[in-house]
Structure 1
Amino acid sequence: MARIPFNVSAKTARLIGRENVSNLEGALIELIKNTYDADAKKCVVYYENSSNRLFIIDNGTGMNKDVIADHWMTIGNSAKRDCVYTEAGRVNTGEKGIGRFALDRISEKCKMLTVSSQERFEWLVNWESFDSSELITDTFAELNDSTETIPQYLWDIDNKYLEKLLESDFSGTGTCFILENLRDQWNDVLIERVKNSIQKLLPPMENNVFDLFFYLWDTRTEDAKIVSNLLNEYDYKLHFAVNDLGECHLQIHRNEFYFGTQFERIMKKAMFSDEDRDYFNDKLITITGSIHDFLPGVEEEIHIGAFSGDIYFYKLVLQSDNQERYYYKNFTTKRTNYKELSGIKIYRDDFLVRPYGIYGTTGYDWLDLSTRKAESPAAVSHKSGSWRVQANQICGQIRISRLNDNLPDKSSREGIVETQEFRLFRELIINFIEKLEEDRQYVIRKLDDLHKSTAQGEQALRIAKEELDKYKTQEEKGRKEQNRNQTKGNEKETNSSEEKYQYENFQKAITYQEERIQDLQEEMGLLRTLATTGIVVNTYIHEIKALTTQLNVGVKEAYACLEEDNDMSAAKDELKKLRILKDKFNSWFKVTLDAVEMDKRKRKKENIGKIIEKSISKWKSVQNNKINYQFTEHEAIDIRCFPFDFETIVSNLVTNSSTIFKNHKVDNPLIEIEIGRLGEKFYIKYSDNGPGLCDAFKKEPQKILKHGVTDRRNANGEVIGTGMGLWIVNNIVQNYKGQIDLKKNIEKESGFYIDIIFEGREN
């Protein structure tokens, strides 16, 4: 048996160099990271216009001959792979052994001087020679002994300020590259782009152990030093840390509000808690839990690894009326440079991972915050909707390490490999941000209620109604005063007629407003019902498609019997089989479309028990009686209502239970519904014998009533639920001045329980 070795084409260098590193900024970042791994305290990037050369200089440890031959000149062989830490204790940022080929992306020719503690060498390469050679082993670089220091080697540079820096800080060990025949046109636009990219390379921090400089031919040293933009003024700050065990620790800082001398009045009138008092005075809100508490519906073990971060929220526009209403602080500097600051960036061992959070790139909104906002556009003061932050209102940095091998870099250095762990990492960050959103909406809602209770419009409406009541009372008394003096009576009659005209106009205006509100409420009710129809269809789309497929196959079979065999009897038999499908389709139409019939969109007196029984009957037919229902009517409930409201409640609850039964393969699935009276109010108690709420909702079941909250996932673990069903139920219940109690879910080990208490007019 012959043994044939693999050969490597010389063009491989191009594949892993200029074709693998997609842009100039990415190539520069790779080379700067190499200087960090060499324990450099300073790194200089210098573009010289007169000679069209680029210099990359560091004062790290340099390389000896063995390192150059065994690692620098060997593709895929990196001394950093097995040695995670540098001599100075830094975590090596590279390990693949191909980063040096980023030089090929920048220029055709390269000269390098490297000075170690024992040796000095000059290394020269022409990257174009790789195109003319067949095999990579036929391509050579020059390696010459040298006696020069880095300042001596760079004797001919134009920038005198850089010369001084080299003399003072680069006379010892280090490495410098001179790149010639640059592949890009270094005009003003490119230079600005490179500078912005380098500026974002390091995370904002006060005490960097690594200084980075970007010089042009006339740049002073104080201007050349790269200083990362730091957001000093913000409305909210979120800090989070996750350890290797999956334990999450969050801290939220409220920094948006200033109440001044009105602090005590607002705390009392808006009914803020004692804890809120502390939070408004800079105490941090602390939230802890396991990773499963923040990832509803994920049951398998999760290995994302350790990471931490800081995220800041800031308003772009400050409207004066909102500032008065919500007591916003008046920040002025934070909105001027939001493009440079905005975006959530990822740093691995203190170096930027492109393109995440970079404004103007496809990775700017890598968390899809804009899509999330579009799906839930509610204002922060909305009573039931979930406010979502916009992508350009938020900035921050997330810190990961090479030690976390669950989030590996792509070979192209453009992002992190899209693994299951990265998808969950992304979802986890979004759920952390949601905690910030929830707290801000909680505060704004309370302040909005306070404002409305004292607002002139609300007061005027209340006073108008009070005056109308007074007028009606006086009018009743006036009818009893018929025996008074005729003259006085005539004067009073004139005045009374004028007052009556005014009060009748008031009454008409108020009645018009109340009717308009009722029309809008009816319209919202219809929209909720239509949304529920969409949820039901989306949940059971596979079953509906299966019926459609069976129908299609049956028709084709009947057609074949007639066309090919001329067998009328067989064709009839095939069509008879489709009658069963007709009944199934009718069942689906009843569940999905009957709820929006015109008759059910009118408020009228209805028996709630009958509505629920009819809904159960429809669902039994759709589910082929695979789910058992137990309905108990302890006392009849006859109230004025919209029938579709209670059908919508049942449909949303049954849809959730059915999905749980199916996903968890529950034996003998059972749904129990009880209705009755509770004093002057009414109740609906609903429960099922499924596994119950997941860990993320077990301690705080009220979360499931919020818009967009769901634990439904597909086979790949991706969220597919709409998070609208129980939110719709909650809105309907609120319209009947009711409330939902989910406390039983905390106490019970299994099963889902929801108690609905509501009011209703019986006549």
Structure 2
Amino acid sequence: MTLIPFSVSARTAQLIGQQNFSSAEGAVIELVKNCYDADSNISIILFDNTDIDFKKHSLYIIDNGDGMTESIIRDNWMMIGTDNKESNYSTAGGRIKSGAKGIGRFALDRLGENSEMFTLPRNSTDGNYWRVDWNDFNQKGISISQVNAVLEPLSNLDYISTLTKISSLSSNLLEYISQNDASFNNGTIIKISNLREKWSEEEIFKLFENLEILIPPREQPSFDIALYSNKYPGSFGHLSGVYFDDYDYKLFANYLNDESKTVEITIYRNELDLRQIEKNYSKVFTRPTMKNFPYDFETFRSQYFTYSVPINELVKGHSEVDKDNLLEKIGKFDFSFYYLKNTKSDDKNESDTKKYPYKEFNSSSRRAWLKKFGGIKIFRDDFRVRPYGEYGEDWLKLGERQAQSPQGAGQRLGAYRIRPNQISGTVNISRLTNLSFQDKSGREGIQENEVFELFKSILKGIIAQFEKDRNQIMFSFSELFKETNLEELAKRQAEELARRILEEEANRKKNENQNPVHETDKGNERTNTNIPTPDEIALATGFQSQKVEIEEKDNEIRLLRSLSGTGLIVASFAHELRSLRTLLISRTDEMKTVLENLLEGYDMKNIPREDNPFVMLHHMREQDVQIKHWLDYSLSALRKDKRKRSNLNIEEYFHTFKSNWDNALKRRIVNLRIISKLKSSTHVRAFAIDFDTLFNNMLINSLDSFKRRKDNHSRDIEISFETDENLLKIYFSDTGAGLSKDYEKDPNDIFLPFETSKVDKKGNKIGTGIGMYLAKAIVEDYKGEIEILETNIGFKLGIYLPLRKESYE
């Protein structure tokens, strides 16, 4: 028996290169992947294409990766079908190599007849030059082993100098390299000449677009791509990449393929205006469909939620027929999905904008973005697998699915299906964990098999989770609109009627001034049915005034709501904080007693203070006292009696106010004086918490004012009060720095919301600008007045509150 070897014809190279890569664009992308596999930070594509004869054009692929030693070129680069990337699947930088078949270098043959390569390994001064003429593989009757490439060692190869020489062909490329933070001390430069086809501007632009979405969207990509053309210098450049920040919904699903076999899903809602919901649509949360998680108001306010679902539930019924355990072959993956509607209305119905509190967005920019980046794309180890999602290709057949159930999101529960022209997404898989997803031989897609078909169904099941969420929400808003539309119609009619009445009255007065009515005709004038009656005018005026007042109150409520977070946190831990407060002082006293018993007879005089446990306990007790004072003050604001309107004894209130602040003020060497000029006991029917907000804000402003005053001075705050007829007059003054000179022209501007003079040295505002605005709002709520008074030192305010019960009850 004789053993004979196989012989491979040189023509095989042509089959692998020119016919394996269906397009020149795909061949360039394959070479860019090689740059990534070499741990390069960047891949640069340069078309030197100014000559009239395209055969004289050249194409450069440049990176700053690991470079290649002579042994790597001989053993890996020159070996067809090498398994190097299959056995050494990760790079030194931790990347999973995108190539595995060992035929990527034949992309060079697809692009041009001749190829040259300069390469300098990392941390080396000696490089290599490699050259091949792909026409040599066309010789008849020879085997592939009879075709040779040229390999020359290059001692002291200056990679930057070589790169600069090439960059001189393109001023844009030279500028980009000089401004790029990445170093070019090593890497590989490939030159492809005698190109097999002419690259038009349109074809280069198509390549540019595909490179833009070659890697998955990230805020800070670890791999940059740039493309330049000498013939079209202003048309191309650095690819910015894709990052989604304008969406109505975002869904992120992660399947770890662990024992639980669950998919963790996070849904982000960004479609509806939360402020509008709180103001005009809050009744929707009383509906049975919107009472429980994840549709309740608290979840809505957080704008996202996370939950887990067993993977078999995403394809209901599959587990009963999965006799081949296809689910076990899926492997871990993650899926980011974005929904961006490109028209304001879901059902193209005029009432939709009234049914649903949509956020504003730019339709034209969304349509342009979706045209470029729409569709769901697959990425394997951070590189896109073509052609999925290319130019919006609907490989999940979502269009067919939607055509079978074309209802809008608010029309019927369970019937909503997404349209494929409103979505974008990325599916991330890996050749290490998704072994059943193998490339087709032509590298254009994944081999279609049962596992991949099941994977598609799982992805559609995940999309259905989004559809269910949006469907239930929009349906609930639609039903609410049907229930409340009669009331809204009545409000609109009343608003229109009030506007018309006031307009007619204004016109009547204008005509009356121009054409005075004789005294004897005035009685007849009012009998005209087209002229509003005094009652109608009063009603219309009151309606308009109330509308303005409600709008102002709504603005104030939104402002106050933003400040309530800290109070809610303190309130939620009130019980625990009260328990802690009772232990603060006693714990150090008890520890001191224990130590004294244990150390009885032990001489502590010679122990340094920093090592003396009694000194340490003393310092701890001082800190505990400060914490207790803060807790006393904070918890006092949470007392229920402060949130009820009561007859507030003014003198008692301010003495309590002083005692609450005493310890904090002593540490700051601040003297607070309370001066009562009342002749008898005086009460105001009010909420104690309102008075706390009013005077706490003033006192805090005074403390800040003392810091701003640089000279040595006494720190005094005085609160005095007296009655004058039916007014309670309260005067608040301090000896601080006074009102900023910036407010000399309009001192009352300090009462505007977000107005503050507290800034850092860079001019950044560090104050909230809320305190004095709230003070004025509270005083006005009690039908009172607040004014800034003249004073020689510091700052002074006067507050005047009516004492008549009916004026503020």
TM-score bucket of the superposed structures, by smaller chain:
0.5 to 0.7
Offset at 1:457? 11
Conserved? CA contact 1:114–1:121, under 8 Å: yes
1:309 aligns with 335
One-letter amino acid of the counterpart of residue 171, structure 2 = K
Q: What is the aligned counterpart of 1:273 among 275, 288, 291?
A: 291
Offset at 1:104? 1.0
1:318 aligns with 344
Q: What is the aligned counterpart of 2:219 among 197, 206, 228?
A: 206
> In structure 2, how many angstroms separate the alpha carbons of the residues matched to 1:11 and 1:75?
13
Q: What is the aligned counterpart of 2:379 among 337, 340, 347?
A: 347
2:198 aligns with 185
Change (3 A) 1:273 1:241: same
Offset at 1:334? 2.7
2:459 aligns with 429
Change (3 A) 1:83 1:376: same
> In structure 1, how many angstroms separate the alpha carbons of the residues matched to 2:72 and 2:317?
50
Change (3 A) 1:385 1:458: farther
Change (3 A) 1:104 1:421: same
> In structure 2, how many angstroms separate the alpha carbons of the residues matched to 1:171 and 1:209?
16
Q: What is the aligned counterpart of 1:124 among 115, 131, 136?
A: 131
Question: Within 5 Å, which residues of 2 pair with 1:512-523?
Answer: none
Question: Within 5 Å, which residues of 2 pair with 1:209-288?
Answer: 209-217=222-230, 224-245=237-258, 246-263=261-278, 266-269=281-284, 271=287, 272-273=290-291, 275=293, 276-288=296-308
2:84 aligns with 79
One-letter amino acid of the counterpart of residue 149, structure 1 = D
Helix, strand or coil: the match of 1:377? coil
Query: Are 2:28 and 1:28 aligned?
Result: yes
Offset at 1:316? 1.3
Conserved? CA contact 1:124–1:142, under 8 Å: yes
Change (3 A) 1:123 1:445: same
2:388 aligns with 356
Change (3 A) 1:183 1:222: closer
Q: What is the aligned counterpart of 1:136 among 144, 151, 155?
A: 144
Offset at 1:402? 2.0
Conserved? CA contact 2:277–2:357, under 8 Å: no
One-letter amino acid of the counterpart of residue 152, structure 1 = S
One-letter amino acid of the counterpart of residue 246, structure 2 = E
Change (3 A) 1:384 1:165: closer
1:162 aligns with 173
1:635 aligns with none
2:109 aligns with 104
Query: Are 2:454 and 1:443 aligned?
Result: no
2:359 aligns with 329
Offset at 1:441? 0.8
> In structure 1, how many angstroms separate the alpha carbons of the residues matched to 2:212 and 2:243?
11
Offset at 1:186? 1.1
Offset at 1:341? 1.9
Conserved? CA contact 1:376–1:385, under 8 Å: no
Deviations 1:129-182 (A, max 9, x none): 111142111211111122433343352541134235557756421101111111
Deviations 1:554-587 (A, max 9, x none): xxxxxxxxxxxxxxxxxxxxxxxxxxxxxxxxxx
Using CA pairs under 8 Å that are at least 6 residues apart, name the structure with larger relative contact order, 1 or 2: 1
One-letter amino acid of the counterpart of residue 160, structure 1 = S
Conserved? CA contact 1:38–1:61, under 8 Å: yes
Conserved? CA contact 1:108–1:183, under 8 Å: yes
> In structure 2, how many angstroms separate the alpha carbons of the residues matched to 1:13 and 1:77?
14
Offset at 1:204? 1.1
Conserved? CA contact 1:71–1:77, under 8 Å: yes
Helix, strand or coil: the match of 2:351? helix
Conserved? CA contact 2:216–2:383, under 8 Å: yes
2:70 aligns with 65
Q: What is the aligned counterpart of 1:89 among 72, 84, 94?
A: 94
Question: Within 5 Å, which residues of 2 pair with 1:530-569?
Answer: none
Query: Are 2:289 and 1:289 aligned?
Result: no
> In structure 2, how many angstroms separate the alpha carbons of the residues matched to 1:230 and 1:221?
24
One-letter amino acid of the counterpart of residue 388, structure 1 = R
Conserved? CA contact 1:53–1:178, under 8 Å: yes
> In structure 1, how many angstroms separate the alpha carbons of the residues matched to 2:208 and 2:72?
31
> In structure 2, how many angstroms separate the alpha carbons of the residues matched to 1:278 and 1:395?
28
Change (3 A) 1:57 1:110: same
Helix, strand or coil: the match of 1:336? helix
Query: Are 2:15 and 1:15 aligned?
Result: yes
Query: Are 2:159 and 1:150 aligned?
Result: yes
Offset at 1:199? 0.7
Conserved? CA contact 1:121–1:145, under 8 Å: yes
Query: Are 2:421 and 1:392 aligned?
Result: yes
Deviations 1:325-379 (A, max 9, x none): 111111114333211121011111111111111116xxx1111111111121122
Conserved? CA contact 2:108–2:115, under 8 Å: yes
Offset at 1:263? 1.5
Change (3 A) 1:210 1:219: farther
> In structure 2, how many angstroms separate the alpha carbons of the residues matched to 1:279 and 1:323?
23
Change (3 A) 1:261 1:171: closer
Query: Are 2:426 and 1:375 aligned?
Result: no
Change (3 A) 1:281 1:222: farther
Query: Are 2:422 and 1:409 aligned?
Result: no
> In structure 1, how many angstroms separate the alpha carbons of the residues matched to 2:40 and 2:61?
12
Helix, strand or coil: the match of 2:118? strand
Deviations 1:690-724 (A, max 9, x none): xxxxxxxxxxxxxxxxxxxxxxxxxxxxxxxxxxx
2:370 aligns with 338
Helix, strand or coil: the match of 2:318? coil
Offset at 1:239? 0.5
One-letter amino acid of the counterpart of residue 45, structure 1 = I
Deviations 1:239-277 (A, max 9, x none): 000012232111111211115255165232452326421
> In structure 2, how many angstroms separate the alpha carbons of the residues matched to 1:394 and 1:191?
26
Helix, strand or coil: the match of 1:365? coil
Conserved? CA contact 2:399–2:419, under 8 Å: yes
> In structure 1, how many angstroms separate the alpha carbons of the residues matched to 2:177 and 2:199?
24
> In structure 2, how many angstroms separate the alpha carbons of the residues matched to 1:383 and 1:291?
26
Deviations 1:203-252 (A, max 9, x none): 11012121211112278899622111222111111100001223211111
List runs of 5+ in structure 1 lacking aligned partners. Answer: 461-763
One-letter amino acid of the counterpart of residue 154, structure 2 = S
Change (3 A) 1:261 1:342: closer
> In structure 2, how many angstroms separate the alpha carbons of the residues matched to 1:348 and 1:79?
18
Aligned residues: 457
Deviations 1:581-613 (A, max 9, x none): xxxxxxxxxxxxxxxxxxxxxxxxxxxxxxxxx
Change (3 A) 1:23 1:261: closer
The percentage of aligned residue pairs carrying the same residue is: 35
1:582 aligns with none
> In structure 2, how many angstroms separate the alpha carbons of the residues matched to 1:397 and 1:171?
32
